[in-house]
Structures are given as C-alpha cells and as structure tokens.
C-alpha cells in the first residue's frame, strides 16, 4: 500500500516536471518569436558577395521603357532591370538563380523576373562552374509604378548539405535572406541601351 | 510480492500458449512479407507492362486482326534508296489499312507506335527523311487519332523509316497501342 | 538477472556500432542510384546500354558562328567553346541521346550549352540501330578545365542506373600550360555537311 502510494506520487512528479519543462520551452520560444526580427544587414553594393551557390556582384540598376536584352514588355509596362555579374560556385552547371535578387517594396505583377544573358540575350541559360557572366534581371512593372531613386534588393542564399535528411543526397536547401544591397536607380530614356547580338 | 513471482514463473500452460502464438506470428511473417512486396510492386509492374511492346501476335500477310478496337491489315511495305541518305541505308514505307471499330481513337490508340523489327530483334521507329513523303491519303498515327474517323471507315496509316542494308531483308512491320500493351501486332512480309 | 542486463547492453552497443559503421562505410542513396559509367578512350566505340558512341574530334574556338532563322549569330564566351563531334548508333531500338557533360579533371561538370537553338546535329540526337550518324555536343569551358577532362554522354539527363559513357579526353593535344594546342578564332557550325535525317 505504501509502495503504491509512493510510486503514484513519483508518477505525478515526473509527469508534472515534463509538463512544466514543455511549457517553459514553449514560453521561451514564444518570447523569442515576439522579439523584433533584426533587419538583414546592408551589403556593400560594389563588392562580390558569396550567396550560397552564386557569387554575385551587382553592376547597375535602372528602369527601362523599351525592350531590354530581348525581354519583351507588354504595352504600357516598364521594367526594372538589375545587371549583375554572377559566378557559379558549385561543381556543376546550374540555373537556380531566379530567387537570388528580389526588389523590396515594389508590387511585381509577374513575381519572378525574366533573366537574360547580356552577352547574347539568351533567356535563362545554365551558368557553368567558375565562369562569370553578366546577367540582367528584368522585372516588368506597371507603367505608373513609382520606383524610388535608391532601391534595396534582397539577396537570398541557400546552404549546401552533403546529405539531405530524406534521401541522403547532396543539395542546396534552406533559402535565407543574406542581406540587402541598395543601388541608385537610373531612369533610362528609350533608346540608350545597347541591345547586343 | 506474490504478483511479481507469478510474472517470473508463469504456469506451464500460459507459457505454452505464448510459445504457440509466437510461432504463429513468425509463420504469418513468412506469408505477409511476400504479399506486401507483391502489393507494393503491383502498380509499377502493371505500368511497366502497359508501356512496353513485349509479346508479339504474328499475323500472316493479307490477314487482318482486331487490335485496339479496330481491324489492322498490312497494306504495303516498300523500300528503296532515297535522296541523300547515307550509303548503306534504305528508306522504307510501311502502310496499314485499318477498319475502325471503336471510334474513340484518342483512348484506344493512345501511345500508338508503328515500328519495324528484324530477325535479330532490333527495332526502328519512324524517321523523317527529306525528299520522301507518305503516299496521298496516308496518315501517320497521330493525325489518324485526330482525323475523326467513324465506325466502319477504312483509313490508311503509315510511316517512313530508315533501315540499314543488312536488316532490309528481314524487316517486319509492327504496331503497338497503349490499350493493348504488352501485346503488339507483328505482320508477315508481303510475298515477293 | 544482472548478467542478462549486461548482455542486453552489450547487444545494444554492438548494434549501435554496427549501424554506425554501415552508415559511414556503405554507399549513400545518391551513389547507389547514380548513372553507371562505362569508360572508354577517344576514337574507341563505347557501348552504353541503349546506344554506342565514338568520340571523333574535339575543336576549340574563341567564338561560334551559326545561322539561326536566317540570321548570322556569333556567340562569344568567357572561356572557350569546345565542339565535340561524336558518332552515334542505337544498339537495339531507335532512341535519343540527349545529354552531354564535359567533366574537368577535378570533377567540375560543364553541361552542354543552352545558348544554341535546336539544330539537327545538336542534342537530342535521334539514333537508329545499325545506322551511324554524327552528333555534336557543344560546351563552354574555362581553359584550365581541358587537360585531363572527360566527356560524359547519356541518353537522358537524370537517368538513375542507366549507362553513361565516360570518354577520356587525354588524347586532346594540349600545350605546356594546359591550354589546347590549337584554338580557332571562330568555328562555323554550318560549314560542316548538313544532316538529312531526323525524327518525325
């Protein structure tokens, strides 16, 4: 009888301690979540940045009202263009550069940009390991969209896992915001762009 | 304390029952494991069988055979040197006369594949040859599917092929349809 | 009772050790399902599962000239253009050979260029049994990735457990600095004899 009572008491203590620990951890996590998220750091606009599988260096940004690098615009649209030197840091040809840059605070009708190789206007070609190419990110905008004189672009990077948790295969995972670069936005008149060929 | 000692030394018949059930459990495993394997692979095997032309149904020249809801007959098989083909290559045209039975060709003829096979089991799929076109009124499989042929219509289906010289002597035309796989039709050559 | 507990602990420890050893030493899923390489040398016929391939010629050029939709384009590159001419045949059934990769000595993989629009002599190559045809693979590679490289040719890009021809490019003449012995200022893709056949 005494033994049963004691073991019951022990059970209560054990279960109670677990509950209290869980509540405590949950409370802590909630408290951390409520903390103001610290803003992603400003990255230097004139230096090369290692962003996961890409090394990127922004070159210039501007607004164009004409077809740029072969990317057609719908009538009444204009385009925000970011030119950047991109280097594939991985061991194989890759084209996963769609989400590397994203302009902050603009309404984008299309979401993802059109991306062209400035060398010959090829749309979204694979980039090869260690071969730097200048790429133009083109975001179509509404014709009356207001683009600030200085615009910040978020840079997203992924991390490499030699083995993922499901299949144990290597890959790039967990996109995180690395920081922002702020660039002056030139407003280009219609015909000042080289179209290349 | 008496309850604890009963756990350590169970009565003889309880232990016997436990051993029996353990044995039955192991026996069930031997049956259930293969069953599970079969159940898991069933879909893959079925899909694979329905995607491959594995088993031939041989047909004599001049005979027709119901296949995919329609009657298929080899109409013509002819070959020759053509235009700018490489030296040891021949152009071959195979045509079939098909009497449409089930007019739902988009379902019955899905994955329609005309091919040539030779004596060693090699297979040729249709090629485009510049300068060689199908005779008038002959459609390829895809256009036949969308031709809107009605029940009872006789349509002519054909393709052009490029075949090496060493195979020309033994080639036989064959037809595979998604609704009939893994079976396919293989026709005897027309007599000389 | 005590002996039994110790025995259980020993079994547990042995299981943990065995599992860890297997995790460390056994090949991983990606390796188990990788393409199966079939090695060969230049000018040899390499027999993959569904096709045979023979590497005939590698030409390096600074620029590439091609006619596209009646327009002449000159393609530049930050490295070199490598134009690889292969001879292809299907083994038993008409098929396509679509994937070429230039693999550098250290394992960097340069996939065939996507900057040329479709041409008859560019991948995917339609191949028939018993009929040889020429197929080009065109790469952009940095000059330091040429010595000791190999060419990987497969039917499709993602083909687990399918054969992949791995052809050593040791026979490509290079100078003392690892650069190719001969680099053309321009390679005209249309100067070669045009092909007259293809898949319908």
Q: Do B127 and C130 touch (CB under 8 A)?
A: no
d(CA A86, CA A70): 19
> Pairing state of beta strands B128-129 and B64-67?
unpaired
Residues C113, C184 share a domain: yes
Residue B190: pLDDT band (50, 70, 90) is confident
Residues C58 and C141 in one domain: yes
Q: What is the pLDDT confidence band of residue A36, given thresholds at 50, 70 and 90?
A: low
Instruction: Report the relative pairing of strands A101-103 and C95-97 from DSSP bridges.
Output: unpaired
Q: Residue A181, CB half-sphere, CA atoms under 13 Å: how many? A: 25
Residue A136 contacts residue A83 (beta carbons within 8 Å): yes
Locate A80 and state its tokens.
């925000």
Residue C156 counted as domain residue:
yes
Q: Do C114 and A122 touch (CB under 8 A)?
A: yes
Q: Contact C130/B122, CB-based, under 8 Å?
A: yes
Together in a domain, C63 and C26: no
What's the alpha-carbon Rg for chain A, to the nearest Å?
Answer: 25
Q: Are both C70 and C146 inside the same structural domain?
A: yes
Whether residue C148 sits in one domain with residue C55: yes
Q: Cα(C65)–Cα(C187) distance, rounded to whole angstroms?
A: 6
Q: Give the closest of B121, B122, B128 to C197, CB-based.
A: B128
Task: Please tell me whether residues C21 and C46 are part of one structural domain.
Answer: no
Q: How many domains does chain C have?
A: 2
Identify which of C130, C197, C200 has the shortest CB distance to residue B167.
C130
Shared domain check, C98 and C22:
no
Would C200 be classed as within a structural domain? no
Q: What is the pLDDT of residue B24?
A: 94
Query: Is residue C89 located within the same domain as residue C168?
Result: yes
Task: Classify residue C158: in a domain, yes or no.
Answer: yes
Q: Are residues C44 and C3 in the same domain?
A: no
C28 and A169 in contact by Cβ < 8 A?
yes
Select the residue of C30, C73, C110 nearest A128 (Cβ to Cβ).
C110
Residue pLDDT, tens place only, B102-119: 999 999 999 999 999 999
pLDDT tens string B32-78: 999 999 999 999 999 999 999 999 999 999 899 999 999 999 999 98
Q: Which of C129, C196, C200 sits opposite B126 (nearest CB)?
A: C200
Residue of C nearest to A91 (CA): C108
| Predicted confidence (pLDDT) per residue in A158-182, tens digit | 999 988 888 878 899 999 999 999 9
Q: How much is the ipTM here? A: 0.85
pLDDT in tens, A42-82: 999 889 999 999 999 999 999 998 889 999 888 888 999 99
Query: Across the interface, do B129 and C196 touch by the CB < 8 Å criterion?
Result: yes
Subunits close to A (at least 3 CB pairs below 8 A): C
Q: Is B92 on the interface with C (CB under 8 A)?
A: no
Contacts of C131 in chain B (CB under 8 A): 86, 88-89, 162-164
Specify if C71 maps to a domain.
yes
Note the pLDDT tens digit of each residue in A71-120.
Answer: 988 888 899 999 999 999 999 999 999 999 999 988 888 888 999 999 99
Q: State whether B127 and C128 contact (CB < 8 Å).
A: yes
Res B183: pLDDT: 94
If one compares A11 and C123, the residue with the highest pLDDT of the two is: C123
Residue C177 domain-assigned (yes or no):
yes
Task: Output the tens digit of pLDDT for each of chain C's 200 residues.
Answer: 789 999 999 999 999 999 999 988 988 888 888 999 999 999 999 999 999 999 999 999 999 999 878 889 999 999 999 999 999 999 999 999 999 999 999 999 999 999 998 788 899 999 999 999 999 999 999 999 999 999 999 999 988 899 999 999 988 888 888 788 889 999 999 886 444 444 44
Q: Confidence band (pLDDT; 50, 70, 90) for B11?
A: low
What are chain B's partners, defined as 3 or more CB pairs within 8 angstroms? C
Taking CA atoms, what residue in C is nearest to A122?
A: C115
CATH for C45: 2.60.40.1240
C196 touches chain B (CB under 8 A): yes
> Do C20 and C69 fall into the same domain?
no
Whether B168 shows a pLDDT value over 50: the answer reads yes
Which residues are paired to B122 by β-bridges?
A: none
Q: How confident is the model at residue B1 (pLDDT cuts 50, 70, 90)?
A: very low
Q: Which domain holds residue C181?
A: 36-188
Structure tokens at A41: 């750091």
Of the pLDDT bands very low, low, confident and very high (cuts 50, 70, 90), residue A190 is low
Do residue C52 and residue C134 come from a single domain?
A: yes
* CA-based nearest residue to B115, from C167, C90, A85: C90
- Interchain contact, A93 vs C109, CB within 8 Å: yes
Nearest CB partner across the interface for C94, out of B89, B123, B130: B123
Find out whether B130 and C196 touch, Cβ atoms under 8 Å.
Answer: yes
Query: Does the distance separating the beta carbons of C73 and A132 come in below 8 Å?
Result: no
What's the pLDDT score for residue A107? 84
Tell me, yes or no, whether C199 lies in a domain: no
Given a contact cutoff of 8 angstroms between Cβ atoms, the answer to whether B150 and B103 are in contact is yes
- Chain C residue with Cα closest to B160: C200
B2 vs C67, more confident: C67
In a domain, C25, yes or no: yes
Name subunits touching C (3+ CB pairs < 8 A): A, B
Give yes or no: residues C16 and C101 share one domain.
Answer: no
**Residue C162 is assigned to a structural domain of this protein:** yes
User: What's the Rg (C-alpha) of chain B?
Assistant: 29
Residue A88: is it exposed, middle or buried by C-beta count within 10 angstroms (0-12/13-18/19+)? buried
CA angle C163, C169, C174 (to 5 degrees): 165
The whole-number pLDDT of residue A25 equals 76
pLDDT in tens, C61-116: 999 999 878 889 999 999 999 999 999 999 999 999 999 999 999 999 999 999 99
Residues of C in contact with A135 (CB under 8 A): none
Could you give the CA distance from residue A197 to residue B106 in angstroms, rounded to a whole number? 44
Residues of C in contact with A122 (CB under 8 A): 114-115
Q: Which residues of B touch C94 (CB under 8 A)?
A: 115, 123-125, 127
**For residues A63 and A186, is the Cβ–Cβ distance under 8 A?**
yes
Task: Please indicate if any CB of chain B lies within 8 Å of the CB of C194.
Answer: no
Give the pair of three-digit tokens for residue B42: 């069933």
Residue C196, H or E segment = none
Establish if A2 touches chain C: CB-CB under 8 angstroms: no
Provide the 10 A C-beta neighbour count for residue C93: 18
- Portion of chain C with pLDDT greater than 70, in percent: 96
């Amino acid at each position: 009888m005494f033994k049963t009572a004691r073991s019951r008491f022990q059970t209560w203590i054990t279960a109670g301690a677990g509950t209290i620990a869980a509540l405590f951890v949950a409370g802590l996590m909630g408290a951390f979540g409520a903390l103001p998220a610290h803003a992603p750091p400003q990255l230097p606009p004139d230096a090369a940045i290692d962003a996961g599988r890409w090394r990127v260096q922004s070159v210039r940004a501007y607004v164009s009202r004409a077809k740029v690098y072969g990317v057609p615009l719908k009538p009444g649209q204009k385009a925000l263009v970011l030119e950047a030197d991109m280097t594939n840091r991985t061991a194989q040809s890759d084209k996963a550069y769609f989400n590397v840059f994203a302009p902050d605070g603009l309404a984008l009708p299309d979401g993802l940009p059109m991306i062209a190789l400035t060398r010959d206007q090829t749309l979204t070609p694979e980039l090869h390991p260690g071969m730097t190419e200048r790429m133009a990110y083109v975001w179509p905008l509404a014709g009356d969209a207001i683009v600030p004189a200085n615009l910040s672009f978020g840079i997203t990077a992924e991390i490499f896992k030699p083995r993922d948790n499901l299949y144990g295969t290597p890959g790039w995972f967990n996109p995180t915001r690395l920081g922002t670069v702020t660039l002056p936005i030139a407003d280009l008149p219609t015909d000042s762009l080289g179209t290349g060929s | 304390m008496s309850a604890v000692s009963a756990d350590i030394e169970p009565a003889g018949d309880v232990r016997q029952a436990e051993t029996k059930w353990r044995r039955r459990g192991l026996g069930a495993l031997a049956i259930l494991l293969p069953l599970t394997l079969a159940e898991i692979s069933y879909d893959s095997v079925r899909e694979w069988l329905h995607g491959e032309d594995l088993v031939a149904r041989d047909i004599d020249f001049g005979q027709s055979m119901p296949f995919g809801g329609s009657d298929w007959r080899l109409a013509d098989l002819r070959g020759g040197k053509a235009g700018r083909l490489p030296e040891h290559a021949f152009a071959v045209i195979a045509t079939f006369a098909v009497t449409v039975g089930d007019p739902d060709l988009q379902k019955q003829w899905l994955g329609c594949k005309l091919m040539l096979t030779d004596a060693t089991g090699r297979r040729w799929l249709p090629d485009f040859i510049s300068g060689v076109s199908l005779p008038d009124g002959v459609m390829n499989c895809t256009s036949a599917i969308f031709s809107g042929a009605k029940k009872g219509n006789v349509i002519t289906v054909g393709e052009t092929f490029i075949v090496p010289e060493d195979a020309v002597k033994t080639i036989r035309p064959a037809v595979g349809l998604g609704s009939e796989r893994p079976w396919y039709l293989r026709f005897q050559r027309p007599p000389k | 009772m005590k002996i039994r507990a110790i025995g259980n602990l020993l079994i547990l420890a042995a299981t943990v050790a065995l599992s860890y050893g297997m995790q460390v030493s056994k090949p991983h899923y990606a390796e188990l399902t990788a393409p199966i390489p079939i090695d060969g040398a230049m000018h040899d016929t390499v027999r993959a599962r569904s096709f045979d391939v023979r590497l005939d010629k590698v030409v390096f050029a600074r620029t590439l000239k091609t006619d596209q939709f009646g327009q002449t384009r000159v393609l530049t590159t930050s490295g070199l253009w490598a134009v690889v001419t292969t001879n292809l045949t299907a083994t038993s059934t008409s098929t396509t050979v679509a994937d070429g990769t230039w693999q550098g000595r250290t394992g960097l993989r340069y996939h065939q260029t996507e900057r040329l629009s479709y041409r008859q002599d560019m991948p995917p190559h339609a191949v028939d049994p018993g009929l040889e045809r020429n197929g080009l693979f065109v790469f952009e590679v940095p000059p330091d990735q040429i010595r000791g490289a190999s060419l990987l040719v497969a039917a499709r890009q993602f083909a687990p457990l399918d054969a992949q021809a791995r052809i050593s490019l040791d026979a490509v003449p290079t100078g003392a600095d690892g650069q190719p012995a001969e680099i053309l200022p321009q390679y005209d893709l249309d100067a070669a004899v045009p092909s007259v056949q293809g898949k319908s």
